[in-house]
Amino acid sequence: MPGDDVPHASTVGLVPAHAIRESADPGVGTAALYRGAENDRGPVHTPTQASQLRDALLLAYCQPAVGAFFNFELSDERRLRGWQSGLLYGDGTPKPAYGVFRDTVAAIRAGQVDCAQAAGAG
């Protein structure tokens, strides 16, 4: 089941500086999952969400004073005026950020991160 292999908030955590907003990307076939009107004129699309989340995880890991990483919401709300910052679409289907989150946390836990190469950590 999606979400079973995503680490819980107690594993990693940090609140991002801005909320990641996501609208259904054209051609992905997810527009029917959501209802209402988008209230953000510049939502972050899924590939950008994935790369920003990876960079945030690595930056947080490489900062000695950061003790936790929190990603707001596991799955999107279905109403567009709500939050679409999850790792899963409203129906539970994984977004690209889901695999990136899982793989990045696995690399961190395995000690495979070179903080000298992490964006902003140097």
Question: Does residue 35 lie within any of the structural domains?
Answer: no
Quickly tell me which residue has 């567009």 as its tokens: 80
Question: Does residue 20 lie within any of the structural domains?
Answer: no
Question: Does residue 116 lie within any of the structural domains?
Answer: no
Question: Does residue 52 lie within any of the structural domains?
Answer: yes
2: amino acid identity, one letter: P
pLDDT at 40: 65
Question: Does residue 90 lie within any of the structural domains?
Answer: yes
pLDDT at 112: 95
Number of folded domains that form the chain: 1
Question: Does residue 33 lie within any of the structural domains?
Answer: no
For residue 83, the enclosing domain spans 42-65+76-109
pLDDT beneath 50, residues of the chain: 1-29
* Distances in whole angstroms, Cα of residue 1 to Cα of each of 5, 10, 86: 8, 20, 16
**Which tokens in the block code for residue 11?**
């594993």
